[in-house]
Amino acid sequence: MTVREEKAYSSTPLQPIMRQGTDWSLVILKVQRIIGRILLYAVLASGAVLFAIPLVWMVSTSLKPDGLVNNMPIVWIPPEIQWHNYVDAWNTSVPPFTTFYANTIFITVMNIIGLLVSSSLVAFGFARIRFWGRDGIFLLMIATMMLPKQVTFIPIYLFWAKIGLVNTFWPLIIPEWLTNGYNVFLLRQFFMSISTELDDAARIDGAGWFTIYSRILIPLTKPAIGVIAIQAFAWNWNNYFDPLIYLNEPSKLTVAVALRLFQTQQSAHIPETMAMTVVALIPVLLVFYIAQARFIQGIVISGVKG
């Protein structure tokens, strides 16, 4: 073997081995990352299981006969699935749950439309139109968010009672058409993040304020509007306090209040009560599943915009 071959043999193969041997810091870093990710997934999985247990128990109970409800240990999968619990509960309710669902859908849809229209219009005025006292009025509106609902509840109830609208849907619908501070603030901040050069270009073309609002800004704020719509749906569908106070006739109740009424009527039949609870949750779960990206985006927008 020549001297040149000996040098090539002795230096070339050993260099990668020496590099690999001295690269322990990267190996340790990768191991730490893997262990950290395993721990993170373990914590998240444990939390998911913990929060899912009540939901799984509710669904399981809705499919059991009455005799297995209080068994210990818990029977998670009943030997005979009682699908008729849903049918029986739906039909034995007085009035039937179809009425409660129709009431809740009507109120929810009307409130979402009213909230989106009123909040976007008011937010557009605060964000784009200059007028005397604009900032002061905006701060006053934001200050209303600091008032607990319990403080203003009695005067508002007396107002609706005075004009004879208690036990109607109007006390639940009209306030949503008058907007609220949170949604106006959210949309105003979103509008202000859009360049005013678009408004100037539209005004050069002869567009008025409403055209700028409806044809330029609204299409650009679809993410924020979608977030408000999802939050409004969840709030109105699950709203228990307001319908409980303003609605007296069983035929006008919403799903949230009707569940309590049904529990009173069927106190001895827990599976039927759980069945109607599952039915009441289905729309919210479907909306969240379909629009979960928007829902998470709403949390980001609420915390970042502005």
Question: pLDDT by residue (tens digit) across 23-54?
Answer: 677 778 888 888 888 999 999 998 888 888 88
Distance CA 111, CA 291 (A): 19
Binned at pLDDT 50, 70 and 90, residue 110 comes out as very high
Quote the CA–CA distance of 302 and 230 in Å, as a whole number: 13
pLDDT score of 127: 85
89: closest CA among 213, 262, 249?
262
**Local confidence band at 304 (pLDDT 50, 70, 90 cut-offs):** very low
The total number of structural domains in the chain stands at 2
Confirm whether 122 is domain-assigned.
yes
CATH number at residue 147: 1.10.3720.10
Torsion of Cα atoms, 141 then 142 then 144 then 148, to 10°? 160
Average pLDDT over residues 285-294: 75
Rounded-to-integer distance, Cα 140 and Cα 143, Å: 5
**111, 175: one domain:** yes
Mean pLDDT of the chain: 80
pLDDT in tens, 235-289: 899 888 889 889 888 888 888 888 887 777 766 677 888 888 888 888 888 887 7
Q: What is the pLDDT of residue 3?
A: 47
Average confidence (pLDDT) over 124-145: 84
Are 150 and 189 in a shared domain?
yes
* CB burial readout 279-288, b (16+ within 10 A) else e: bbbebeeebe
The answer on pLDDT for 14 being more than 50 is no
In a domain, 275, yes or no: yes
pLDDT tens per residue, range 169-213: 999 999 888 888 888 888 888 888 888 888 788 888 887 888 888
pLDDT of residue 87: 82
- Say whether both 33 and 147 belong to one domain: no
| Domain around 22 | 3-62
Check residues 105 and 93 and name the one with the higher pLDDT.
105
